[in-house]
Structure 1
Amino acid sequence: MSVKISKMKTWGRYGAGRSWLRSALAATPVVFAPMALLILFITLFRFDGSLPDLYFALRDQGVWHVLDAYRPRFDLQTTLAYSCWVAFQVVLFQWLPGPRSIGQRTPAGHVLEYRTNGLRAWVVTHLALGALCWKGGLDPGFVPRNWSGLVFAMNLFGFLASALAFAKAHLMPTHLEDAKFSGCWLYDFYMGIELNPRFGDHFDLKLFTNGRIGMMAWTVIDLSNVAYQYQEFGSVSPSILLVTILHTIYVLDFFNNEEWYLRTIDIAHEHYGFYLAWGCFTFLPVMYTLQTQYLGRHPTSPSGAYLLVAFTTGLVGYALFRSVNDQKARVRRLNGDCLVWGRPARYIRTTYMTSDGWQHESILLASGWWGWSRHANYLGDLLLSFSMCALVGTTNVVMWAYALFMTILLMHRCIRDEVRGRSKYGTAWDDYCKRVPWRLVPGLW
């Protein structure tokens, strides 16, 4: 139910009010994130993933010499191939038939429609690439063989998409009332200004970038590294197969539940800037596939028992992740009239207000996993992330970078979710926190 009232309230990304210096400091990942990714790229492909070897090279040869000598290189053919990949995803996103889904209400009260054809696009993409490989038009190991040029192209497109988002927000914004300007152009470039930038009625830049560029590339990169390992070594190791299976389960879950994804923090709350644009064009494909990148060139053979434990842990993490999210979706879909763990759902009915002056009702679930902790879904994500890294079967620090990144990201999101929840729901959120006192893991945090 929605009621029009006079008092205005909104939530979402922090807007004006912070100092320019604080905003500029918060935007430093515009520089540091590409540098970190460059270090990972060089370490993995020029020093076999060895940080000590990288350190000695930096010490003996000089930082700028090493970075310049081993950085990703522009290659015209590879850049054209990547451009065709992006264009193909644009065509599928815009014209491939698929169900229509409704997103979550924005702070300004907009409810947007999306074409959620991601699962069909994933199938078409992989069938098309498979057919090209079968007919000899594409080398199955193309990705690792051209990784330097591909990383350069990803960076190029990521920065171009970030610039496009920044310019569009100033020149032709979609739903200006949902935009946030901080007063610091660097922070706005980094965190984004528009919440849901679109071209036309349905081409949503945020969903396209997250789903069709980032997530779609994940399994393509993995499978190409599997093919490369077979081509180079004559066999495929259990480690790379199991990692690829876990990655594929996660990616297919994303596309199969694309309608649910419309109500997650990425789509419902994050504004579209460098953080998401470059992050999905470049950071996601490079960071999230570190395990198969390494295994494609360095097959490892941990014991069967070790692989079984690590893989099972990943499946448990995925099952927890899916169970937690399904509980909340079911309770909200049935307006609380359902059972959770065999008992009537316990929840708090609350209201929130959008900046157009309308008050809306919502539910804060406080039973099942959501009575266990306020972010149990993130725990499933973390278990899955650590198992993906563990399957590589090495103590090499670089191979654990993905798990470390996910830990920092999700703990930071816990804190941001708390701030947003209190801003959106007011005292009802405080009551919810009293009922469910633990953020992530009971007894720890």
Structure 2
Amino acid sequence: MTKQKEAPKGAPTAHTSTWSYLSEAGAPIVIIGFMTFSVLLFYLMPNPTISSLSIYSSFFFLQLFLSYIIPGQYSKGLVLADGTQEVYLCNGLRCYLITIAIFFLGGFLKLWNLGLAYDNLLPLVSTSNYFAWASWLYIYIKGLSSPKREPTEGVLNDIWYGIELNPKMFGSDCTLFFDGRVSLIGVVMVGLSYACKQYELAGYISTPMLLFTAFFSIYMFDFFWFEDHFITTFDVAYEKFGWMLTWGDTVWMPFFCNLTGYFLVEDYRYEQPKWQIALIVIIWVSGYIFARIANAQKDAFKRDPSKKTFFYGLIKQDYISADEGKKVLSSGLWSLSRHPNYFGELANSLAMCLPGGITHSIFSFGYTIFIWALLITRFERDDRKCNNKYKQAWKEYSRRTPYKIVPYLY
């Protein structure tokens, strides 16, 4: 009997997509590239100033302080592999609104200029870079001796993805704090500051700037309104917390994903035709609704798989049974693609940057590029985890629902 020739280690198999293989093969390049870029920022950016240190440290520690003292709803996360179940204080919406109120109140009282993010941009990027590295180093060293330390995946992956599930910084869950407060509130505050700077220069806020600022503000309001849904997502339940998320939430998201707003300040007289404005609004609203319904259906299913219908009885709930009583949601929007919420997010992120137009710079689409790269690669990691967790049920679901993210296309 002839021995079957084995495929090279790491090569694509029948259950591994070409994108997944290329993603894994190129991962070290991406990791080293981003970390090198971050180190170069220490040399390319001006040193932190007293103003930038005051601004960023005030924002960072205000979020940490508010996360402790502001009352909110306590919600349980998913039951983890070790049988534990984290409890989270979901007070993000109040923290979000309080931060915005403090920002405008300080401007009204002349304690600071509302355009401070634009006026101190480069020192702020430098300062946030220091905060990102210091935070990651604290989380990494603390995780080395943590009982929740995950099996090592190699030094590079351990640094990039993290070594501990659900790590905490000063008692605050890192994923909830950095992904929610530092990142999402940060990107809104920088965007609002850009809008204020445009008003200072032009005497009015342009329609593209108004759209850009409104999209981000509404989107983050929605996130914090449904913050208890976030704690049942892949990010919180299964994703470790390493340099990728620490630096991405602290530096990339608030500043590089806000470049649309920056270019709208630089070209503050830029306007768009009404048909473009209408198309952008349609894309954003459609993506928002699609993602919101998909996330809400998934969250409702995780909390009560026995429900027969969803969304006022309009969507039938159905699932595929797996081993050990597990269930795979296979109805509603989740029958159109295996990640319909990602499809909504892709459309949403595109619309958020379109107000900057296509003539300024590819960098004005920083947020779109970030979200698309993040979600497409995250799908592959999520798909592998689901394949290992649900086994035959996931293979059956993948057969029934061949499209990964975009229904009938991808």
TM-score of the superposed pair, with normalisation by structure 1: 0.81
Unaligned ranges ≥5, structure 1 = 1-21, 42-66, 352-358
**Structure 2 counterpart of 1:398:** 363
- Equivalent position SS for 1:112: strand
Q: Is the 8 A contact 2:316 2:332 kept in 1?
A: no
**Structure 2 counterpart of 1:434:** 399
- Equivalent position SS for 1:391: helix
Q: How does 1:274-353 map to 2 (within 5 A)?
A: 274-299=243-268, 300-340=270-310, 342=314, 344-351=316-323
2:372 maps to amino acid: T
Are residues 1:375 and 2:347 paired? no
State the Cα distance separating 1:198 from its structure 2 match.
2.2
Separation in 2, partners of 1:180, 1:250: 36
**Structure 2 counterpart of 1:214:** 183
Separation in 2, partners of 1:213, 1:439: 30
Cα deviation, 1:333-359, whole Å, max 9, x if unaligned, reads: 3323222473542211334xxxxxxx5
Counterpart of 2:72 (choices 89, 98, 120) is 98
Cα deviation, 1:47-106, whole Å, max 9, x if unaligned, reads: xxxxxxxxxxxxxxxxxxxx95x5343212311321121111111011211111111122
Cα deviation, 1:402-430, whole Å, max 9, x if unaligned, reads: 32332222221222111010111111111
Separation in 1, partners of 2:333, 2:373: 22
Q: Is the 8 A contact 1:154 1:281 kept in 2?
A: yes
Are residues 1:89 and 2:89 paired? no
2:157 maps to amino acid: Y
Q: Is the 8 A contact 2:340 2:407 kept in 1?
A: no
- Equivalent position SS for 2:165: coil
1:278 maps to amino acid: W
Q: Is the 8 A contact 2:338 2:401 kept in 1?
A: yes
Q: Is the 8 A contact 1:27 1:191 kept in 2?
A: no
Cα deviation, 1:3-22, whole Å, max 9, x if unaligned, reads: xxxxxxxxxxxxxxxxxxx9
Q: Give the fraction of aligned pairs with identical amino acids, expressed as a percent.
A: 28
Separation in 1, partners of 2:369, 2:339: 18
Q: Point out which structure has higher relative CO (alpha carbons under 8 A, 6+ apart).
A: 1
Cα deviation, 1:158-210, whole Å, max 9, x if unaligned, reads: 01111111100114x2xx2452322x33331221001111257x521221111
- Sort the Cα spacing of 1:198 and 1:444 in 2 relative to 1 into closer, same or farther, 3 A: same
Separation in 2, partners of 1:204, 1:407: 26
- Sort the Cα spacing of 1:440 and 1:269 in 2 relative to 1 into closer, same or farther, 3 A: same
* Larger CA deviation: 28-37 vs 214-223: 28-37
Separation in 2, partners of 1:311, 1:233: 24
TM-score of the superposed pair, with normalisation by structure 2: 0.87
Q: How does 1:7-406 map to 2 (within 5 A)?
A: 26-33=27-34, 71-171=45-145, 173=146, 176-177=147-148, 179-182=150-153, 184-198=154-168, 202-299=171-268, 300-340=270-310, 342=314, 344-351=316-323, 361-395=325-359, 396-406=361-371
Unaligned ranges ≥5, structure 2 = 1-22
1:346 maps to amino acid: D
Separation in 2, partners of 1:123, 1:198: 24
- Equivalent position SS for 2:322: strand
- Sort the Cα spacing of 1:262 and 1:339 in 2 relative to 1 into closer, same or farther, 3 A: same
Separation in 1, partners of 2:248, 2:357: 27
- Equivalent position SS for 1:104: strand
Counterpart of 1:412 (choices 357, 377, 380) is 377
2:314 maps to amino acid: G
**Structure 1 counterpart of 2:409:** 444
Q: Is the 8 A contact 1:101 1:259 kept in 2?
A: yes
Separation in 1, partners of 2:91, 2:316: 34
- Sort the Cα spacing of 1:380 and 1:37 in 2 relative to 1 into closer, same or farther, 3 A: farther
Q: Is the 8 A contact 1:301 1:393 kept in 2?
A: no
2:110 maps to amino acid: G
- Equivalent position SS for 2:83: coil
Equivalent pairs counted in the alignment come to: 384
- Equivalent position SS for 1:443: coil
Q: Is the 8 A contact 2:195 2:209 kept in 1?
A: yes
State the Cα distance separating 1:308 from its structure 2 match.
1.3
- Equivalent position SS for 1:323: helix
Separation in 1, partners of 2:308, 2:398: 22
CA RMSD of aligned residues (A): 2.4
Cα deviation, 1:298-325, whole Å, max 9, x if unaligned, reads: 1211111211111221111101110111
Separation in 1, partners of 2:194, 2:38: 19
Separation in 2, partners of 1:93, 1:178: 25
